[in-house]
Each structure stands twice: as C-alpha cells, then as structure tokens.
Amino acid sequence: MTGKSLRTVGFSLLMVFILAVAACNGDDDGNGAADDGNGNGNGSVTIETPGMSFEPDEISASAGEDLEITLDNTDGQLHTFTLDEADFEIEADGGESESGTLSVPDEAGEYEFYCSVPGHRESGQVGTLTVE
C-alpha cells in the first residue's frame, strides 16, 4: 500500500515536471513571437526597384520607431526612396543597394513614398507606408 502511494506520488511529480517543461517551452515560443511582433517588420525592410515600381509597395511600421530601409535597385537606372513627411531620402544607382534609417512619423496613418527621379513618381513609382 505504501509502495503504491509512493508510485502514485512519483507519477504525479513526473506529470508536474512534464507540465512545467511544456509550460516553459510555451513561454519561450511566446517570447520569440513577441520579439518578432515588436520589430513590426523586424525594424528593417528591403525594397526592390526592378523598374518604375517598388517591391513591396506597401510597408508598415510602428509610430515613432526607427526603421532601417534598404533600397535594392535591381534596375539599370537611378531610383530613390523618398518620404517627405519624414524628410527622408535614399538613392541607389542601377544595380546598387543603399540603406538608411527612417524615423517613422509619430502620427498613425498612411504616408506615400515615391521615387524622386523626374518622371518616375508620375509613372507610378509610389508606395504606401502604413504607420500604426
């Protein structure tokens, strides 16, 4: 009888241990996801310019955060990433890649970014930054 009780206690402890380990793993996963979420696009984004366009042409960020933007110009001519509201512009020659840190506006909303090379914005080289 005593032996059976001990075995029951032992089994219970084992179950508690397993549940504790499972709970810890759950926390780790949660933290990892939270970190990714805080980054909101990981705090950096790469935008390609294969032509008179941006890929992606829709990005999002948290109000007030620093967002590192890499302009990967896979086209054969100069393009820029320009956001007037943040007084921000990076330019990359054809085949080159340039990075800069954008201070995301403090006010939530949609902001248009564009290429400031004459004629490009008019040709539709625009995109939207959504600030949340």
Strands 126-131 and 109-114: antiparallel
Site membership for Cu ion, residue 114 (CB under 5 A): no
Residue whose tokens read 């999002």: 60
| CB-nearest residue to Cu ion | 115
Look up residue 25 and give its two tokens.
């793993």
Which one among 61, 92, 104, 115 touches Cu ion, defined by CB under 5 A?
115
Stretch near Cu ion under the rule CB under 5 A, chosen from 12-20, 37-45, 103-111, 113-121: 113-121
CB of 85 to Cu ion, least distance (A): 19
- 66-72 β-sheet, strand order: 53-55, 44-51, 66-72, 97-103
Task: Write out the residues near Cu ion by the rule CB under 5 A.
Answer: 79, 115, 117, 120, 125
